[in-house]
A and B are shown apart, each in its own frame.
Chain A
Amino acid sequence: MKVGIVVFPGSNCDRDAFFAVTLQQEATAQYLWHKESEIPQGLDCIILPGGFSYGDYLRSGAIARFSPIMRAVRAFADRGGLVLGICNGFQILTEAGMLPGALLQNAEQRFICKSVTIRVDNSATPFTNAYTKGQVLRIPIAHGEGRYYADPATIAQLEKNGQVVFRYVDTDGIPTPQSNPNGSIANIAGIINERGNVLGMMPHPERACQALLGSEDGRGVFESVVHYFASVGV
């Protein structure tokens, strides 16, 4: 399984993502510079990592969307390729219109960097099949603009289709106002597109891949992608 990790000016989780991917024995990773206009042949999955692409100028992700690589990423997704956007990567995917909604400034105005508990609400995706539905994960967040927003009709559609993949919950797995760190609508922490091949999430699974670093709960995202390709026989 081959994973490409896009590096924008200001990306800062690209190496963590590389590390997390290569913990999977069946996976190899390579970096893709934002100025490249084509995705190399043979890639199975592309990660848009966290960071502050283009200094978060104007709006988070707004400028990165116009990078040459993003046109290629969109074409890759249109062909059915897997795209995972983490944190700033999620912001870029919403700005690019590849995922619905937008990410607003946190309800409490502050940049929040801490471990949170999230629940897997859909384990039937290429990114979550190593988890069980309802499983509670301990994964860090680190963002200033993570308040997920979409209009009520879009939210209803996401809920109906099972496109809400991760939700902020308490340790018992209940979505409560207290367990919602940033004021996201319906405690939404991660969503997938209707086709099921583009996932965006604010929490950082790549920072939760080793017990030594506090949690291994994020590993399942990368394991899932490996499982997915093993099962479809790539």
Chain B
Amino acid sequence: MPQYRATIIVTLRPTILDVQGRTVEHALHSLGFESVRQVRIGKYITLDLEASDPHHATGQCQTMCQELLANPIIEDFSIATIEPIAP
């Protein structure tokens, strides 16, 4: 079975105040980056998995996000990349 490396990004939903992002935004302003707006901080997850093709690999990752990696009440997720791993 081919192997794939997935990268997944989980972020707080846009309607939810991201206090960590806001604090970093303030820090960037203090550093002189006054043009910065809307800092949001999320999670970057990579994992390797076996799947018959990229489509199935993506499907498995989506299920993992729905069931564990993200909390749908507060978070959005996206499967950023699915790359085959050379055997």
Q: Which residues of A contact B (CB under 8 A)?
A: 58-59, 62, 66, 94-95, 101-102, 104-109, 149-151, 183
Question: Closest CB-CB distance, B81 to chain A, in whole Å?
Answer: 21
The docked-state distance in angstroms from the alpha carbon of A108 to that of B16 is 14
B 30-78 contacts with A by CB, 8 A? 68-69, 71, 73-74
Interchain CB contact (< 8 A) of B71 among A95, A105, A106, A151: A95
Q: Which residues of B contact A (CB under 8 A)?
A: 12, 16-17, 19-20, 23, 68-69, 71, 73-74
Q: Chain A: interface secondary structure?
A: loop
Name the residue of chain A whose CB is nearest to the CB of B74. Answer: A102
Cβ–Cβ contact A105 & B20, under 8 A: yes
Given contacts A104-B16, A107-B17, 17 further A-B contacts (CB under 8 A): A58-B68, A62-B68, A62-B71, A66-B68, A95-B71, A102-B74, A104-B17, A104-B19, A104-B74, A105-B19, A105-B20, A106-B19, A108-B19, A109-B20, A109-B23, A150-B73, A183-B19
The docked-state distance in angstroms from the alpha carbon of A151 to that of B43 is 22
Question: Closest CB-CB distance, B37 to chain A, in whole Å?
Answer: 19
- 10 A-B pairs whose Cβ atoms sit less than 8 Å apart in the complex: A58-B68, A59-B71, A62-B71, A95-B71, A101-B73, A102-B73, A102-B74, A104-B17, A109-B20, A183-B19
